[in-house]
Amino acid sequence: MDLVQKILEGDPRSAARLMTMIENGAAESVSILKSLYRHTGRAYVIGVTGPPGSGKSTLADGITGDLRQRGKTVGIVAVDPTSPFTGGAILADRIRMQRHSLDPGVFIRSMATRGHLGGLARSTNDVVDVLDAAGKEYVLIETVGVGQDEIEIVRSAHTNIVVAVPGMGDDIQAIKAGVMEIGDLFVVNKADRDGADKTVMEIEMTLHLGKETDAWRPKVLKTVAVKAEGVAEVTREILEHQAFLQQHEGQRRKGRERSYWVFFELLQERLTTRVIEQVASNGTLDRLIERIAARETDPYSAVEEVLKRAGL
């Protein structure tokens, strides 16, 4: 339990050690996370989601710089869909972020899926909790966002930034659609390229199509993150949204939502693992799969059988 104390004191090496345990699925991490949990809930969590090549890292880097200038401490979690094949993406992120690497007020962590099944949203949540307990006032989660999985990763953020770039081709509508509802703020990065205003307009149009469920009206901002153009305004808008949430009790609501998602992700993972282990241990799983493959039974009936055996 020495590790708990050291993390609470903000020791980066201890935080990194726990994060590695979380990523490796080490059983000891659970008791430490349990002890840390009551010290969490203070960090303000910001999601940065966008398609490949949209400059999310550079933007996150800029926002981090702005927050540091305001005297705030920052944790960054970069979620990469990487694999045992290559650690390239992780390395690239670390290099890109080296501007802050000597600053003790910034902690950067890259998360990789490493091909393991699901659980990424859960382990990202855990890492955010570690940064929160370690006293980081802002935590940025950066994801390559197109699919449902990425949305789940940032679902629990207080402010979600969706990054687009001009001229992404036919599929832009699909991307926009998938992440549209989660956006509290939209950024068209690389706005010195042709078509930036068109992309801004397209996003604004899509926003107007959506129902207004909140008093908050998401803005669409233009940036050229590599030249730091427009980034300060993005940071200001984040802080504006934070103030808005505090005024409207939104921070409490988001906190409750976050608790639900964290609980849900963890329940799903633990439940499935538990039941799969049960049926695998006595050979039932193998027999079921053989019978499904041979069309002697169907997946629905097989799952019903397993649920029944588990008394559910």
* 233-252 binders of its own copies (CB under 8 A): 252
Residue 150, both tokens: 């990425």
284 part of the interface to its own copies, by CB under 8 A: no
CB of 22 to its own copies, least distance (A): 12
User: Site residues for its own copies, window 248-277 (CB under 8 A)?
Assistant: 252, 255-256, 258-260, 262-264, 266-268, 270-272, 274-276
CB of 81 to its own copies, least distance (A): 3
CB of 71 to its own copies, least distance (A): 26
State the distance between the two ends of the chain, measured CA to CA, in whole angstroms.
37
Q: What single-letter DSSP state applies at residue 213? A: -
**Alpha-helical regions (H) of 53-160:** 56-69, 88-96, 120-133, 148-154
Q: At a CB cut-off of 8 Å and minimum separation 6, what does 160 contact?
A: 46, 47, 49, 154, 182, 183, 184, 185
User: Site residues for its own copies, window 64-123 (CB under 8 A)?
Assistant: 80-83, 85-86, 88-89, 92, 96, 113, 115, 117-118, 120
Q: Are 164 and 188 in contact (CB under 8 A)?
A: yes
52 part of the interface to its own copies, by CB under 8 A: yes
Q: In this chain, which of 59, 76, 175, 191 binds its own copies, going by CB under 8 A? A: 175
CB of 53 to its own copies, least distance (A): 3
Q: What angle do CA 178, 263, 131 make, to 5 degrees?
A: 85
User: Site residues for its own copies, window 186-205 (CB under 8 A)?
Assistant: none
CB of 257 to its own copies, least distance (A): 9
Binding map of its own copies across residues 127-166, x = CB under 8 A, - = no contact: -----------------xxxxxxx-x--------------
Sheet with 159-164, strands from edge to edge, namely 106-112, 74-80, 138-144, 44-50, 159-164, 185-188, 219-222
